[in-house]
A = this chain, B = another copy of it.
């Protein structure tokens, strides 16, 4: 009998878990793989919805809960929280002794996981290396993780190419597409009526906007002002708008403050701290325009044929499909772009045939298959410069 390979998946926040969900399910269901989840960061923070509960409800086995998120808005607290994650993660890995540590994206838990794996001779598999989202520490972190990881699961061919350019050996690079797309297939569908009831907000008649705006780490001081501009645009447009709170980055509390201030005065606006996944996925299928700087707009909206108004620098230089319209932090520009996306016939047709740069919705299975099949040992652990 084959010994099952043990995979530790590390997750620190709900947005990341949305991507990891499908690979986790696929690992759990693979006969030769064993899943253990390490939960940390914002998942365990009440201010960010205590989303560890979703992971429990999904039935994934939790190896350890590592409380780490400091109650702070400073840049220093973010990296200190990460150091606390690392201290805890080493303890977990020492006990669990996995064959792989699977991390995702460009967050502090991602690089902390990559470092723990690399130093402890545990193979690190990284989802979403090679992407570019200029204007953010995230890019530096994502690329640094690439240099530490042993396997790369990229979400596009362009990103795969960039990973190889950084000196990574081709055999380590697997373009599997964006695992977040898998959940549109995996999760059940709700009707507009059902969703309206669950959200206590009428979604049966449109148009409906969804706004998600995160902090840019190099523009922390401006976070509140930038959110205010977006909220002004939303206020003047007057459409039904759902607003999701941002990730737990330095500056995010300021954004939340601004959102709350407007939301209290605008009856057509509804805010969510952390929408349950089923509701969120169905919401994405129903909204007419996505506003803000969420990576959802780049990475998932094309699959859903959803128009996106990307505000500011956060996703600026990222490879994107025809559904994205870039605007600066300027009220009028945001308003015009929303109107255009809702009404321009040519644009709307173009979107319906929008290219699928980020895979076909089966990334999770492909990741599980590679983890089960790749040769373990020194050839995996010892990295060579590719060229």
A contact residues vs B (CB 8 Å cutoff): 44-48, 64-80, 82-84, 86-88, 90-95, 108, 111-112, 114-116, 118-121, 132, 134-135, 137, 139-141, 143-148, 162, 165-167, 217-218, 220, 248, 253, 317, 378, 381-385
Could you say which of A77, A132, A217 has the most chain B C-beta atoms within 10 Å of its C-beta? A77
The smallest C-beta distance from A65 to any residue of chain B, in angstroms, reads: 6
The smallest C-beta distance from A107 to any residue of chain B, in angstroms, reads: 11
State whether B83 touches A83 (Cβ < 8 A).
yes
Give complex CA distance A135, B134 in Å: 32
State whether B147 touches A140 (Cβ < 8 A).
yes
Give complex CA distance A114, B125 in Å: 22
**Contact for A167 among B115, B165, B218, CB less than 8 A:** B165
**Contact for A76 among B78, B93, B135, CB less than 8 A:** B93
State whether B218 touches A382 (Cβ < 8 A).
yes
State whether A384 touches B134 (Cβ < 8 A).
yes
The smallest C-beta distance from A183 to any residue of chain B, in angstroms, reads: 27
State whether B116 touches A79 (Cβ < 8 A).
yes
Contact flag A67-B78 (CB < 8 Å), given A167-B143, A382-B134: no
23 A-B residue pairings within 8 Å (CB atoms): A45-B72, A67-B77, A67-B80, A67-B90, A69-B70, A69-B71, A79-B90, A79-B115, A79-B119, A79-B120, A83-B86, A86-B86, A87-B88, A88-B91, A91-B91, A118-B140, A119-B137, A121-B220, A141-B148, A144-B147, A146-B147, A162-B167, A166-B166
Contact flag A385-B139 (CB < 8 Å), given A86-B79, A144-B145, A166-B166: yes
Give complex CA distance A218, B115 in Å: 14
State whether A378 touches B76 (Cβ < 8 A).
no
The smallest C-beta distance from A54 to any residue of chain B, in angstroms, reads: 17
**Contact for A121 among B94, B217, B248, B385, CB less than 8 A:** B217
Kindly report which residue of chain B lies nearest to residue A44, judged by CB atoms: B72
State whether A111 touches B115 (Cβ < 8 A).
yes
Kindly report which residue of chain B lies nearest to residue A378, judged by CB atoms: B218
State whether A383 touches B80 (Cβ < 8 A).
no
10 cross-chain pairs, A with B, having the tightest CB-CB distances, nearest first: A79-B119, A83-B86, A144-B144, A143-B147, A45-B71, A71-B71, A144-B147, A80-B90, A69-B71, A83-B87
Contact flag A46-B253 (CB < 8 Å), given A69-B72, A70-B71: yes
Give complex CA distance A75, B94 in Å: 9
Residues from chain B with a CB closer than 8 A to the CB of A68 are: 70
Contact flag A91-B66 (CB < 8 Å), given A140-B147, A144-B145: yes
Residues from chain B with a CB closer than 8 A to the CB of A118 are: 137, 140-141
Contact flag A46-B65 (CB < 8 Å), given A79-B86, A83-B90, A165-B165: no
